[in-house]
Amino acid sequence: MAPAKILVVDDDPAIRNLIHRFLAKQDYQMESAADGKTGMALFEQFNPDLVILDVNLPDALGYNLCQEMQSRTDVFVLMLTSRTDPADKITGFSKGADDYLTKPFNLEELQYRVEAILKRQRVVTTPERQCLTFDRLVIDPVRREVNLDNKPVILTALEFDLLHFLASHPGKVWRRAELIQEVWDYDYVGDQRVVDVHIGQIRRKIETDLNQPALIQTVRGVGYKFEAPPAIKENSQNSENQVS
Protein backbone atom coordinates (compact mmCIF):
# COMPACT_ATOMS: atom_id res chain seq x y z
CA MET A 1 0.00 0.00 0.00
CA ALA A 2 1.39 3.39 -1.01
CA PRO A 3 2.28 5.75 1.84
CA ALA A 4 -0.23 8.48 2.59
CA LYS A 5 0.38 11.91 1.08
CA ILE A 6 0.44 14.92 3.39
CA LEU A 7 0.54 18.61 2.48
CA VAL A 8 1.68 21.14 5.10
CA VAL A 9 0.58 24.75 4.61
CA ASP A 10 2.13 27.12 7.19
CA ASP A 11 3.86 30.49 6.76
CA ASP A 12 6.26 29.87 9.65
CA PRO A 13 9.32 28.24 8.01
CA ALA A 14 10.56 26.71 11.29
CA ILE A 15 7.25 24.96 12.00
CA ARG A 16 6.66 24.03 8.36
CA ASN A 17 10.10 22.47 7.92
CA LEU A 18 9.95 20.72 11.29
CA ILE A 19 6.64 19.04 10.46
CA HIS A 20 7.82 18.19 6.94
CA ARG A 21 11.02 16.51 8.12
CA PHE A 22 9.40 14.74 11.07
CA LEU A 23 6.55 13.19 9.07
CA ALA A 24 8.85 12.35 6.14
CA LYS A 25 10.79 10.17 8.58
CA GLN A 26 7.53 8.30 9.27
CA ASP A 27 7.49 7.37 5.54
CA TYR A 28 4.72 9.77 4.52
CA GLN A 29 4.98 11.49 1.12
CA MET A 30 5.35 15.17 1.94
CA GLU A 31 4.87 18.54 0.24
CA SER A 32 4.75 21.95 1.90
CA ALA A 33 3.76 25.53 1.13
CA ALA A 34 4.18 28.91 2.83
CA ASP A 35 0.96 30.57 1.63
CA GLY A 36 -2.54 29.82 0.44
CA LYS A 37 -1.92 30.33 -3.27
CA THR A 38 1.02 27.92 -3.34
CA GLY A 39 -0.88 25.56 -1.07
CA MET A 40 -3.84 25.36 -3.46
CA ALA A 41 -1.55 24.83 -6.46
CA LEU A 42 0.22 21.96 -4.67
CA PHE A 43 -3.13 20.59 -3.53
CA GLU A 44 -4.24 20.28 -7.15
CA GLN A 45 -0.98 18.67 -8.28
CA PHE A 46 -0.23 16.47 -5.26
CA ASN A 47 -3.78 15.31 -4.42
CA PRO A 48 -2.97 14.76 -0.72
CA ASP A 49 -4.80 12.45 1.67
CA LEU A 50 -4.35 14.94 4.52
CA VAL A 51 -3.64 18.68 4.73
CA ILE A 52 -2.07 20.17 7.85
CA LEU A 53 -3.31 23.71 7.51
CA ASP A 54 -2.45 26.87 9.43
CA VAL A 55 -5.40 29.16 10.12
CA ASN A 56 -3.58 32.46 9.62
CA LEU A 57 -1.77 32.67 6.28
CA PRO A 58 -0.38 35.83 4.64
CA ASP A 59 -2.82 35.67 1.74
CA ALA A 60 -5.72 33.55 2.97
CA LEU A 61 -7.71 32.33 5.94
CA GLY A 62 -7.18 28.63 6.60
CA TYR A 63 -10.88 28.08 7.27
CA ASN A 64 -11.71 29.21 3.73
CA LEU A 65 -8.97 27.03 2.23
CA CYS A 66 -10.32 24.08 4.16
CA GLN A 67 -13.75 24.56 2.61
CA GLU A 68 -12.29 25.05 -0.87
CA MET A 69 -10.16 21.90 -0.67
CA GLN A 70 -12.98 19.76 0.66
CA SER A 71 -15.32 20.98 -2.06
CA ARG A 72 -12.96 19.31 -4.55
CA THR A 73 -11.95 16.05 -2.82
CA ASP A 74 -12.62 14.04 0.34
CA VAL A 75 -9.32 15.27 1.79
CA PHE A 76 -8.85 15.25 5.56
CA VAL A 77 -7.83 18.57 7.16
CA LEU A 78 -5.97 19.06 10.44
CA MET A 79 -6.09 22.73 11.44
CA LEU A 80 -2.92 24.05 13.07
CA THR A 81 -3.05 27.40 14.85
CA SER A 82 -1.93 29.51 17.78
CA ARG A 83 -5.55 30.43 18.52
CA THR A 84 -6.64 28.80 21.78
CA ASP A 85 -10.17 30.18 22.11
CA PRO A 86 -12.71 27.28 22.05
CA ALA A 87 -14.85 29.37 19.69
CA ASP A 88 -12.06 29.22 17.11
CA LYS A 89 -12.05 25.43 17.33
CA ILE A 90 -15.80 25.32 16.82
CA THR A 91 -15.38 27.57 13.76
CA GLY A 92 -12.73 25.24 12.36
CA PHE A 93 -14.91 22.18 12.82
CA SER A 94 -17.90 23.95 11.31
CA LYS A 95 -15.81 24.63 8.21
CA GLY A 96 -15.06 20.93 7.81
CA ALA A 97 -11.84 20.40 9.78
CA ASP A 98 -11.30 16.83 10.98
CA ASP A 99 -9.08 17.82 13.90
CA TYR A 100 -7.57 20.90 15.48
CA LEU A 101 -4.12 21.26 17.08
CA THR A 102 -2.93 24.41 18.85
CA LYS A 103 0.62 25.75 18.90
CA PRO A 104 2.94 25.02 20.58
CA PHE A 105 2.46 21.30 20.10
CA ASN A 106 4.26 18.04 20.70
CA LEU A 107 5.48 16.17 17.60
CA GLU A 108 4.40 12.85 19.06
CA GLU A 109 0.89 14.21 19.56
CA LEU A 110 0.89 15.44 15.97
CA GLN A 111 1.93 11.98 14.79
CA TYR A 112 -0.82 10.37 16.87
CA ARG A 113 -3.48 12.66 15.44
CA VAL A 114 -2.25 12.16 11.87
CA GLU A 115 -2.33 8.39 12.27
CA ALA A 116 -5.79 8.53 13.83
CA ILE A 117 -7.22 10.63 11.01
CA LEU A 118 -5.70 8.45 8.29
CA LYS A 119 -7.12 5.30 9.91
CA ARG A 120 -10.44 6.37 8.47
CA GLN A 121 -9.12 5.61 4.99
CA ARG A 122 -10.42 2.07 5.05
CA VAL A 123 -11.82 -0.36 2.53
CA VAL A 124 -15.61 -0.42 2.48
CA THR A 125 -16.86 -3.89 3.37
CA THR A 126 -19.62 -5.66 1.41
CA PRO A 127 -22.49 -4.88 3.84
CA GLU A 128 -21.40 -1.25 3.91
CA ARG A 129 -21.62 -0.99 0.11
CA GLN A 130 -25.40 -1.04 0.07
CA CYS A 131 -27.14 2.26 -0.66
CA LEU A 132 -29.30 3.53 2.18
CA THR A 133 -32.63 4.91 0.96
CA PHE A 134 -34.97 6.84 3.24
CA ASP A 135 -37.84 8.26 1.21
CA ARG A 136 -36.28 11.35 -0.44
CA LEU A 137 -32.78 10.76 0.99
CA VAL A 138 -30.30 8.37 -0.63
CA ILE A 139 -26.84 7.66 0.80
CA ASP A 140 -24.34 5.85 -1.45
CA PRO A 141 -21.31 4.65 0.57
CA VAL A 142 -19.34 3.49 -2.48
CA ARG A 143 -19.54 6.77 -4.36
CA ARG A 144 -19.70 8.64 -1.04
CA GLU A 145 -22.60 10.63 -2.41
CA VAL A 146 -25.83 11.85 -0.83
CA ASN A 147 -28.92 12.85 -2.79
CA LEU A 148 -32.02 14.58 -1.50
CA ASP A 149 -35.01 14.85 -3.86
CA ASN A 150 -32.66 13.61 -6.63
CA LYS A 151 -30.33 16.55 -6.04
CA PRO A 152 -26.76 16.13 -4.73
CA VAL A 153 -26.01 17.18 -1.15
CA ILE A 154 -22.45 18.40 -0.70
CA LEU A 155 -20.94 17.05 2.50
CA THR A 156 -17.41 17.08 3.84
CA ALA A 157 -15.71 13.70 4.36
CA LEU A 158 -16.42 13.77 8.09
CA GLU A 159 -20.02 14.89 7.63
CA PHE A 160 -20.61 12.00 5.24
CA ASP A 161 -19.06 9.48 7.65
CA LEU A 162 -21.20 10.77 10.53
CA LEU A 163 -24.44 10.76 8.53
CA HIS A 164 -23.74 7.32 7.06
CA PHE A 165 -22.97 5.87 10.48
CA LEU A 166 -26.15 7.25 12.06
CA ALA A 167 -28.29 6.18 9.10
CA SER A 168 -26.81 2.69 9.24
CA HIS A 169 -28.33 2.30 12.72
CA PRO A 170 -31.79 3.91 12.46
CA GLY A 171 -33.52 4.41 15.77
CA LYS A 172 -30.43 3.74 17.88
CA VAL A 173 -29.43 6.50 20.28
CA TRP A 174 -25.72 7.38 20.38
CA ARG A 175 -23.90 9.39 23.02
CA ARG A 176 -21.45 12.02 21.78
CA ALA A 177 -18.50 10.04 23.15
CA GLU A 178 -19.69 6.94 21.30
CA LEU A 179 -20.01 8.83 18.02
CA ILE A 180 -16.52 10.23 18.43
CA GLN A 181 -15.15 6.74 19.05
CA GLU A 182 -17.05 5.19 16.13
CA VAL A 183 -16.75 7.94 13.51
CA TRP A 184 -13.54 9.75 14.44
CA ASP A 185 -12.10 6.28 15.19
CA TYR A 186 -10.01 7.33 18.17
CA ASP A 187 -10.30 8.78 21.66
CA TYR A 188 -10.77 12.44 20.85
CA VAL A 189 -9.42 14.48 23.74
CA GLY A 190 -11.06 17.78 22.84
CA ASP A 191 -14.48 19.32 23.39
CA GLN A 192 -17.30 16.88 22.59
CA ARG A 193 -19.31 19.81 21.22
CA VAL A 194 -17.51 19.04 17.96
CA VAL A 195 -20.26 16.45 17.43
CA ASP A 196 -22.95 19.11 17.85
CA VAL A 197 -21.22 21.33 15.29
CA HIS A 198 -21.10 18.61 12.63
CA ILE A 199 -24.67 17.49 13.35
CA GLY A 200 -25.73 21.12 12.87
CA GLN A 201 -23.92 21.30 9.54
CA ILE A 202 -25.56 18.10 8.28
CA ARG A 203 -29.01 19.22 9.40
CA ARG A 204 -28.69 22.46 7.44
CA LYS A 205 -28.19 20.37 4.31
CA ILE A 206 -30.80 17.63 4.70
CA GLU A 207 -33.52 18.80 7.10
CA THR A 208 -36.65 20.61 5.98
CA ASP A 209 -37.26 22.32 9.34
CA LEU A 210 -34.18 23.06 11.47
CA ASN A 211 -36.39 23.88 14.45
CA GLN A 212 -37.87 20.38 14.35
CA PRO A 213 -35.35 18.03 12.69
CA ALA A 214 -37.04 14.88 11.40
CA LEU A 215 -34.08 12.77 10.35
CA ILE A 216 -31.31 13.45 12.89
CA GLN A 217 -33.05 13.92 16.22
CA THR A 218 -31.66 15.09 19.54
CA VAL A 219 -32.29 12.85 22.53
CA ARG A 220 -32.02 15.21 25.47
CA GLY A 221 -29.43 14.29 28.05
CA VAL A 222 -28.07 11.50 25.86
CA GLY A 223 -27.10 12.32 22.28
CA TYR A 224 -28.48 11.76 18.78
CA LYS A 225 -30.33 9.23 16.66
CA PHE A 226 -31.28 8.88 13.01
CA GLU A 227 -35.02 8.41 12.65
CA ALA A 228 -36.29 6.84 9.44
CA PRO A 229 -39.31 8.59 7.87
CA PRO A 230 -42.73 7.07 8.78
CA ALA A 231 -43.28 5.65 5.29
CA ILE A 232 -40.01 3.75 5.52
CA LYS A 233 -40.93 2.37 8.95
CA GLU A 234 -44.36 1.26 7.73
CA ASN A 235 -42.82 -0.54 4.76
CA SER A 236 -40.31 -2.26 7.03
CA GLN A 237 -43.08 -3.41 9.42
CA ASN A 238 -45.23 -4.68 6.55
CA SER A 239 -42.28 -6.66 5.17
CA GLU A 240 -41.68 -8.19 8.60
CA ASN A 241 -45.35 -9.14 8.90
CA GLN A 242 -45.33 -10.80 5.48
CA VAL A 243 -42.24 -12.82 6.36
CA SER A 244 -43.73 -14.02 9.63
* Domains with residue ranges and CATH for the chain: 5-118 (3.40.50.2300), 127-243 (1.10.10.10)
- pLDDT of 84 > 70? The answer is yes
Q: Round to whole Å and give the CA distance between 159 and 173.
A: 18
Average predicted confidence (pLDDT) for the chain: 85
Tell me whether strands 174-175 and 223-226 are parallel, antiparallel or unpaired: antiparallel
pLDDT tens per residue across span 115-148: 888 887 644 444 556 889 998 899 998 888 999 9
Average pLDDT in the 166-185 region?
A: 89
Average pLDDT in the 154-166 region?
A: 89
**34 in helix, strand or coil?**
coil
**25 in helix, strand or coil?**
coil
Q: Which residues, at least 6 apart from 120, have a Cβ–Cβ distance to it below 8 Å?
A: 76, 157, 161, 184, 185
Average pLDDT in the 79-101 region?
A: 81
pLDDT tens per residue across span 213-229: 999 999 998 999 999 87
- pLDDT of 234 > 50? The answer is no
What's the chain's length in residues?
Answer: 244
Q: In what order do the strands lie in the sheet with 132-134?
A: 132-134, 137-140, 145-148, 151-153
pLDDT, position 231: 57
Q: In what order do the strands lie in the sheet with 174-175?
A: 174-175, 223-226, 216-219
The CA-CA-CA angle for residues 7, 112, 23, to 5°, reads 40
